[in-house]
Structure 1
């Protein structure tokens, strides 16, 4: 778990047992995951502790949330050095068949001109279709 400890320490997060277990699970994920899906990966997960762990990870910008239009918040790891600024945002792809949501970190977000005196605080661009596994 040395790698997991290093990741947490880089974001100034104290490496508790639960935090280490959660980061280990998130590192293995190939797609974004909901709180419920994450809890199902633990036999005796305390939902409150898991929620607080995810909240801590969000506050320290280790993970980001995704609103993929399903009504369920999904979580995914941020890239190294990410500070979750609008300029660092990326698109997501939601598979309409398997319901998984993927981060597309290499897909460029189109430039959108916002009106003068508007302040951009976030971007949520979700592409929908079938992933490579379901296509």
Structure 2
């Protein structure tokens, strides 16, 4: 856990025991996770403390919130460019209709959106829905047998 402290300190976050546990958990995920997922995975976790940790991480540019249309916000680690002033990792998210996982696709940037005069954008989000590569491979394997 000592190797995680610099990550929190770099973002000006006090490295409490709970924050270190939450960060460790998030870094090990291959897809975005909800607060409920975190609460279930991190047994003996106080819901309020977990929520406050995630909120602090979001406010300091360590995680970003993903609204994927499932009705539950999910969270994933940000790209290094995110700061307390704002999130700068404008990438596409992919929601798998089969396994219901949400993935960050940081190599696929959201295209610039030109708004009409008088409009001021404050947040950009793009979620592509379909079948992830793992689910597609499983379907192809089943079909081959």
Q: TM-score range by the shorter chain?
A: over 0.9
Aligned to 1:72: 72
State the shift of 1:2 in Å.
Answer: 2.4
Which entry has the higher C-alpha Rg, 1 or 2?
2
State the shift of 1:109 in Å.
Answer: 1.6
User: Where is the helix percentage greater, Structure 1 or Structure 2?
Assistant: 2
Highest relative contact order (Cα 8 Å, sep 6+), 1 or 2? 1
**Within 1, Cα distance between the matches of 2:89 and 2:72?**
23
Aligned to 2:130: 129
State the shift of 1:108 in Å.
Answer: 2.5
Provide, for residues 38-80 of structure 1, a one-character-per-residue CA deviation record: whole Å limited to 9, x for no partner.
1111121110110111111111111000000000000001011
Alignment of 1:117 with 2:118, yes or no, is yes
Aligned to 1:104: 105
State the shift of 1:110 in Å.
Answer: 2.2
Q: Any stretches of 5+ residues in structure 2 without a counterpart?
A: 137-145
Give runs of aligned pairs for residues 1-135 of structure 1, distance below 5 A.
Answer: 1-83=1-83, 84-85=86-87, 88-135=89-136
**Within 2, Cα distance between the matches of 1:50 and 1:16?**
12
After TM superposition, the score normalised by the length of structure 2 is 0.88
CA RMSD of aligned residues (A): 1.2
State the shift of 1:113 in Å.
Answer: 1.3
Contact 2:79 2:89 in 1 (8 A): no
**Within 1, Cα distance between the matches of 2:119 and 2:10?**
33
Q: Which runs of 4+ in 1 moved over 4 A?
A: none
